[in-house]
Amino acid sequence: MHGWIWIIAALVLGALEIVLPGWFFLGIALATGLMGLAILAGIWTGGLPMALVVTAALSGAIWLGLRRIFGSSRGDVRIWTRDINDDK
């Protein structure tokens, strides 16, 4: 029964990602959904504290993977290290 709570939380986090885009909530939503599926399938039998730790680590890994696949957004701040008018 607790697996459904994790999946509902993943759906809420996914909806939050739509409202506040930035890849952050998407990583958490995917990790939470995976943990919910693992609980429902009986793969995860550990307690809540360890489930939270594994979900946090999985969330970070998913976020890094999404950043590597899709890159940074075009709205990110660009830092210029060389001016076009500088002499070489």
Tens digits of residue pLDDT in 49-58: 999 999 999 9
Rounded CA-CA distance 70/56 in Å is: 21
Rounded CA-CA distance 30/23 in Å is: 11
In this prediction, residue 2 has a pLDDT band, given cuts at 50, 70 and 90, of: confident
DSSP state of 80: -
In this prediction, residue 82 has a pLDDT band, given cuts at 50, 70 and 90, of: confident
Span 23-79, pLDDT tens digits: 778 899 999 999 999 999 999 888 999 999 999 999 999 988 988 887 766 666 777
What pLDDT was estimated at residue 69?
A: 85
In what helix (H) or strand (E) does residue 82 lie, and over which residues does it extend? Answer: none
